[in-house]
Amino acid sequence: MAIYAIGDIQGCYEDLTLLLDYAEFNPQTDKLWFVGDLVNRGPDSLSSLRFVKKLQVAGTAQTVLGNHDLHLLAVYHQLKKNNDPAIDELLNAPDCDELIHWLRKQPLLIHDKQTGFTLVHAGIYPHWALAQAKEYASELETVLRSDQYLDFLKHMYGNQPNSWSESLTGWDRLRFICNSFSRMRYCQPGGELDFDYNGAPGSQQNNLLPWFDMAKRPCENEKIIFGHWSTLGYFKEQNNLQLPDGIYATDTGCVWGGKLTALKIEGTGKNQKIETLSIDCPQRATPYNK
């Protein structure tokens, strides 16, 4: 049995099927993990959602929520304007309500004790231990699955607060949790989140650090799989960037004409084997909305 942790699909369903064929994925024995951003910008968000939902119901797949998935929830409820033609197809589909109801109940964090891996979309805030990250993810997941769901979506957007305090309450607290799991890339030295720059490490201002390069991270000994950061994927491939041990970046920019990548995990403990599989996606060089 193998587990395939797959980077941001963003509606590139055809590329996903090609990657799974290339990886020789067997739905009878293998599992799929998705880092979120199942939808938006690519040509077939509807098929992407249907595929992951079907496999999850069958016990073959798991996914976490990404920022584009959360944005879809807001668009569905007409809290944000849609500017992606492929999303219109999803919104008009006969099973749209069912898909949205399923999507909003997906987690922000999955920790697999057997393999020792943690799956998130953007990362784990560098001042949080794994136990804290689980707790804070659960806080927001509870709201997304409750009667407060629409109220949260109305307060979800914004960059403040940009630093964590346990004393944060209400929408500010939930917004910070949401931004950390779904939008984070760089931090200021004091741990403040920075959303103004998304380029590859090495091109940022001197005071910014990738979240995984922050000193004394409580999760520095954890194995974390994430996506969200397409320029990080390119940077790693082109410039031999060495990520810290236990950090696995899987967004290699399929929707931008890059690659779609899967991290293949086999076994546990000392016998665990990890392999990276990718396919080229040159036909996706012009997403619908940038």
**Residue 240: what pLDDT?**
62
Neighbours of 125 (CB within 10 A): 26
Alpha-carbon gap, residue 125 to 70, rounded angstroms? 19
Strand bridging mode 31-34 / 61-63: parallel
Report yes or no on 102 lying in a domain: yes
Report yes or no on 267 lying in a domain: yes
CATH number of the domain bearing residue 280: 3.60.21.10
User: For the whole prediction, is pTM greater than 0.75?
Assistant: yes
Q: And the tokens for 248?
A: 């696995």
Report yes or no on 13 lying in a domain: yes
- The DSSP result for 38-53, as a single string, is -SSSSS-HHHHHHHHH
Alpha-carbon gap, residue 290 to 84, rounded angstroms? 10
Alpha-carbon gap, residue 15 to 261, rounded angstroms? 10
Residue span of the structural domain in which 219 resides: 3-284
Q: What are phi and psi of 119, to 5 degrees?
A: -110, 125
Report yes or no on 290 lying in a domain: no
Report yes or no on 289 lying in a domain: no
Confidence at 290, pLDDT banded by 50, 70, 90: very low
Query: What would the pLDDT profile of 195-245 be if each residue is shown by its tens digit?
Result: 999 998 888 887 999 999 999 999 999 999 999 999 887 656 655 667 888
Report yes or no on 154 lying in a domain: yes
The whole-chain average pLDDT of the chain stands at 93
**Residue 288: what pLDDT?**
57
**Residue 165: what pLDDT?**
96
Domain count, the chain: 1
Report yes or no on 58 lying in a domain: yes
| Sole residue written with tokens 């944060």 | 168
Q: And the tokens for 233?
A: 């994927």
Beta-bridged to residue 110, according to DSSP, are: 119
User: How large is the average pLDDT for residues 147-160?
Assistant: 97
CA distances from 52 to 48, 63, 132, 149, 266 (A): 6, 8, 28, 22, 21
Alpha-carbon gap, residue 22 to 278, rounded angstroms? 9
Alpha-carbon gap, residue 45 to 55, rounded angstroms? 16
